[in-house]
């Protein structure tokens, strides 16, 4: 049957199908490339620049530079895993127990809390935008699956510590270690690494340079968890992890 004689809805479905195939191919290619090539920026950094320009923030300056994992003390990814996602070495992108706990808490009328894993945070920071719409959450899940299928855990942790916001306009451990501690990332202490992790996921309210009592308590807790998890080798370990209180 000639193309022009096909019903419109068939042609529409075909175009939608081709568009979806193109999206899958392009998005997977982007994820595959970033397994090996450091991302020069992220969707969250671009959104922050636009937000600052739109609101006319005075003296806003975004700082970010990539530092390979080999030049960062392994205490940094360990601290972030200890503070944010202790099941990181074992899940496939989603912490089912944490999601269920968040749903139960919401059902009981408690404050809605996040249940995002580090893999989900990487997907959101690299490719998406802030928001709670079903479309964004669906895309976050999609990119999380792609990342988990394509990258090893070490790479996920490396990208996360390089693109996460750790202060107002300060992205990644390279920029943060220089801004807050005046040392290269390889020389950060366990306490300093824990303090960087302690301000997540709200680094504009919780500050490394002016830590509140809450940040100091959380720093101490993360430092303790780092020790209990057994050190940097934990991130690529394969033994069961007990659930930790937060």
Q: Residue 163 in contact with residue 122, Cβ under 8 Å?
A: yes
Cα separation, 139 vs 145, whole angstroms: 10
Contact 139, 129 (CB under 8 A): no
Question: Is the pTM of the predicted complex or chain greater than 0.85?
Answer: yes
Domain range summary for the chain, segments of one domain joined by +:
8-37, 38-55+62-236
CB atoms closer than 10 angstroms to residue 70 = 8
Say which CATH topology domain 38-55+62-236 has: Penicillin binding protein transpeptidase fold (1.10.3810)
- Per-residue pLDDT tens, the chain, 246 aa: give them: 455 567 877 877 888 888 888 988 999 999 999 999 999 999 999 999 999 988 888 888 999 999 999 999 999 999 999 999 999 999 988 888 776 665 655 555 555 445 689 999 999 999 998 888 889 999 999 999 999 999 999 999 999 999 999 999 999 999 999 999 999 999 999 999 999 999 998 998 999 999 999 999 999 999 999 999 988 888 876 555 544 544
Measuring CA to CA, how many Å separate 220 from each of 56, 95, 239? 37, 24, 25
170 - beta bridge partners? Answer: 63, 167
């Amino acid at each position: 049957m000639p193309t022009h004689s096909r019903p419109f809805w068939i042609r529409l479905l075909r175009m939608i199908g081709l568009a979806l195939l193109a999206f899958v191919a392009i998005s997977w290619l982007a994820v595959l490339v970033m397994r090996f090539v450091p991302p020069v920026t992220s969707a969250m950094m671009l959104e922050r620049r636009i937000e600052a320009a739109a609101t006319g923030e005075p003296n806003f300056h975004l700082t970010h530079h990539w530092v390979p994992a080999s030049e960062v003390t392994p205490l940094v990814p360990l601290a972030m895993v200890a503070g944010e996602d202790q099941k990181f070495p074992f899940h496939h992108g989603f912490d089912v127990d944490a999601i269920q706990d968040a749903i139960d808490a919401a059902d009981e009328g408690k404050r809605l809390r996040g249940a995002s894993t580090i893999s989900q945070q990487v997907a959101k920071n690299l490719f998406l935008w802030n928001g709670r719409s079903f479309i964004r959450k669906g895309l976050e899940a999609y990119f999380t699956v792609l990342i988990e299928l394509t990258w090893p855990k070490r790479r996920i942790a490396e990208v996360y510590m390089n693109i996460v916001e750790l202060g107002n306009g300060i992205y990644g451990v390279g920029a943060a270690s220089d801004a807050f501690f005046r040392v290269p990332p390889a020389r950060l202490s366990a306490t300093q690494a824990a303090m960087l992790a302690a301000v997540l996921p709200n680094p504009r309210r919780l500050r490394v340079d002016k830590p509140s009592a809450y940040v100091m308590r959380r720093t101490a807790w993360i430092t303790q968890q780092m020790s209990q998890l057994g050190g940097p080798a934990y991130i690529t370990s394969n033994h069961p992890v007990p659930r930790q209180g937060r």
